[in-house]
Amino acid sequence: MNEILKYSYERKAHDAVEVLNRCKFDAHYADNAAEAKEIVKSLIPKGSEIAVGGSVTLQETGIMDLIRSDDYKFIDRFNNKSWDEELHKYRLGYMSDVFITSSNAVTMEGQLVNIDCTGNRTGCIGFGPKKVIIVIGVNKIVADAAEGVKRAKSIAPLNSRRINHGNPCDETLSCENCTGTNRVCNIISIIDGCYKFPGRISVIVVAEELGF
């Protein structure tokens, strides 16, 4: 990576970590994906029951491989015989020890902004699991909530295409304001600080571009 670009990523990541910690999140800086994976490992005790939100970032960092190991009890939402079974696993996630995912945006005002189809990810971030771990690349850092919502909506078509939801935006890669069952932008969540349960949400900010 270009030295100046890398330095700019480092500065941006450190600044975000400082803001998030002021807002009572448990925020950590990671220089790269491998370091982020090690931080996640340090935050989840062996034997923990773990649920996840759909996330390209978890794949890119190798975190999905980590939590699929025999050290943890993984609620596997990805292998199901029916939609009812998948929904059941989503609900189990609310009672998990640890919920791990990424965020569509993190603001420099100390907010997490997310957009969801079903709401299991946004719901679990807000309440339920004992511990939440968010892993983000610097590409997801924005100025404020309004910019966060704009970013979340702009990448929703990419995620719709990634998971083959069959929405109009799968082809155009821009919002078509669709109204079908598989619409991916049904729920918008803004976590405005972590004041009620300080430190419950850990945010690992990686000085690299990760995910959408």
% of the chain exceeding 90 in pLDDT: 79
- Residue 182: which pLDDT band, with cuts at 50, 70 and 90? confident
What was the pLDDT predicted at 133? 98
Instruction: Determine the Cα–Cα distance for residues 65 and 84; give it in Å rounded to an integer.
Output: 25
Residue 144 backbone dihedrals phi, psi, to 5 degrees? -150, 180
**What are 78-113's pLDDT values in tens digits?**
888 999 999 999 999 999 999 999 999 999 999 999
Strand ranges (DSSP E) for 127-175? Answer: 131-137, 141-142
Q: What percent of the chain has pLDDT over 70?
A: 100
136-164, pLDDT tens digit by residue?
999 999 999 999 999 998 887 777 788 77
Question: Quick one: which H or E segment has residue 208?
Answer: none
Could you tell me the maximum CA-CA distance found in the chain, to the nearest angstrom? 50
SS3 187: strand
pLDDT band at 167 (very low <50, low <70, confident <90, very high): confident
Please enumerate in sequence order all residues whose Cβ is within 8 A of that of 141, keeping only pairs 6 or more positions apart, or say none. 12, 13, 16, 105, 106, 107, 108, 205
Per-chain mean pLDDT for the chain = 93
What is the structure's pLDDT at 177?
83
Burial track 92-109 (b if 16+ CB lie within 10 A, e otherwise): ebeebbbbbbbbbbbbbe
Structure tokens at 177: 């304001």
- Indicate yes or no: pTM above 0.85: yes
Q: How far is CA 9 from CA 60, 63, 97, 127, 134, in A?
A: 18, 21, 32, 31, 18
Buried b (16+ CB within 10 A) or exposed e, 155-189: bbbebbbeeebebebbeeeebeebeeeebbbeebb
Give yes or no for a contact between 144 and 109, defined as CB atoms under 8 angstroms apart.
yes
Q: Provide CB contacts within 8 A for 144, sequence distance 6+.
A: 107, 108, 109, 111
Secondary structure string (H, E, C) spanning 60-115: HCCHHHHHCCCCCEECCCCCCCCHHHHHHHHHHHCCCCEEEECCCEEECCCEEEEE
